[in-house]
Amino acid sequence: MWQRLALDCLRRHLYYPLALGVVLVVAACGVRIKDLAPSGLPPMDRGVALEWAEAFRPDSARRYDLRWTYQTQQGTTRGRAAVRFVPPDSVRFDYRAPFGRSGAAVIVGQEILWSRPEEDVERLIQIAPVFWAAMGIPLAPPLEASVQGRQAGDVRTWRYAGPVDTLTYQGAASLPGSTFRAQMRTGGEIVGTAEVTFADSAPHPAAATMLFPSSASAVYFTIEAIETLSASDSTIWQEP
């Protein structure tokens, strides 16, 4: 059995122009994105970070139907996509673009296992942890990373600092109507950010923006419906 959930359209339409304005500034002016949590995060127990991350993760398989917009300084492309999530960390991404173009990819954890066609799909996904964050799902802390974080009121901020990559998350303990943010650094430089607006009435993402400063590009998702799936077809993970 599955349940189809329509999301808050008004919230989505208000969010999109705001996000568009942000990326136009980044693309046109080369403005540096502000660090999400620049300093002062104390060490925290890995188990607490895992608990915070799991609070965002759906406990059952889901399908997200969404519209996407990909924007660079050269222009804008729009289309539709389906994202099938299977706990704890697997996603199948299928998209349709103008002029009959389509593609698919499978992501497990921080790795894009395969994508067809590679260039088109990876423009929309680009960095796996940022894509996960755009779906409202923070990753679990890697074993090799140190973990820092704190909670101030309802807001939780936590970070995984590895040898090369650093992931910082910030979100509310209560998800409906809240905003979730994520930022990834590689070698000290910000390589991608995600900002997600959750629906007012349920803990489901309604809209998201991913910004990639090095390429002055952005990807927007507006999630139109979610299906809760009772089972997963194993063939969806196979590379065509």
Show the 3-state SS of the chain: CCCEEECCHHHHHHHHHHHHHHHHHHHHHCCCCCCCCCCCCCECCHHHHHHHHHCCCCCCCEEEEEEEEEEECCEEEEEEEEEEEECCCEEEEEEECHHHCEEEEEEECCEEEEEECHHHHHHHHCCHHHHHHHCCCCCCCCCCCEEEEEEECCEEEEEEECCCEEEEEEEECCCCCCEEEEEEEECCEEEEEEEEEECCCCCCEEEEEEEEHHHCEEEEEEEEEEEECCCCCHHHHCCC
State yes or no: pLDDT of 69 exceeds 70: yes
pLDDT at 20: 43
The answer to whether residue 55 sits within a structural domain is yes
The number of domains in the chain is 1
pLDDT at 27: 42
At 95, list the tokens.
Answer: 């998209």
The answer to whether residue 92 sits within a structural domain is yes
pLDDT at 26: 47
The answer to whether residue 89 sits within a structural domain is yes
Mean model confidence pLDDT for the chain: 86
The answer to whether residue 239 sits within a structural domain is no
The 10s digit of each residue's pLDDT in 35-49 is 887 778 999 999 999
At 49, list the tokens.
Answer: 């970070």
Buried b / exposed e over 81-112, threshold 16 CB at 10 Å, is bebbbbeebbbbbbbebeeeeebbbbbeebeb
pLDDT at 32: 56
Question: Containing domain of residue 133, as a range?
Answer: 4-229
Q: Taking the CA atoms of 77, 211, 115 and 199 in sequence, report the sign of the dihedral they define.
A: negative
The answer to whether residue 240 sits within a structural domain is no
Span 105-118, average pLDDT: 91
The answer to whether residue 171 sits within a structural domain is yes
Whichever domain contains 176, its CATH number is 2.50.20
The answer to whether residue 58 sits within a structural domain is yes
pLDDT at 17: 41
The answer to whether residue 79 sits within a structural domain is yes
Asked if 160 and 147 count as a contact pair (C-beta separation under 8 A), the reply is: yes
